[in-house]
Amino acid sequence: MEESSEEQVISRLFDLENDGQAAQRAELTGERFLSLIQDPTSGLAYVFQHGLDETEGAEVPPGTEFWQYSTLDEAARAYAQLLQEDRQTGELVETDSEEGLGDSDTDGAEVRDRYSASDEDLLIGGEDEDKVGQQTD
């Protein structure tokens, strides 16, 4: 199996984090974040520290680092240690942060019409629903 380049790993980690795959995520001062992520494809776990990606993947934010571990338990211990260090130095802002995740235009379900699931919808049963399973002669 071919090893991924550092840029490919960082891109993958951003994708996983933006898709809500981070097991834990903390906000640090200076619009920086620390995340615990396990890649479902490779099974590898990562501690991922980065700033906001304002270039939508065109450039790696300054100060971006990651540490790779073979198990989620190992990564979780390292994450907890880094979080404790950030807490002691006053750099921890929030321990459960969703700040800066994804693109605001594409996050969440699209709301079309509050009456879209109405009686006029062919997929929603109507008064004929009571006749399902009954034979008529």
Comparing 136 with 110, the larger pLDDT belongs to: 136
* 29 contacts: CB under 8 Å, gap ≥ 6: 90, 91, 92, 93
CA distance 97 to 33: 8
Beta strand pairing call for 22-28 and 65-69? unpaired
CA distance 74 to 55: 31
Judge whether residue 27 has pLDDT over 60.
Answer: yes
Per-residue pLDDT of 28-81, as tens digits, reads: 999 899 999 999 999 999 999 999 877 666 778 888 999 999 999 999 999 999
Look at residue 60 in the predicted model and tell me its pLDDT: 84
How far CA 62 is from CA of 30, 127, 137, in Å, comes to 11, 62, 76
Per-residue pLDDT of 80-97, as tens digits, reads: 999 999 999 999 998 886
CA distance 49 to 37: 11
Look at residue 132 in the predicted model and tell me its pLDDT: 52
Look at residue 67 in the predicted model and tell me its pLDDT: 97
Query: What token pair was written down for 113?
Result: 């019409």
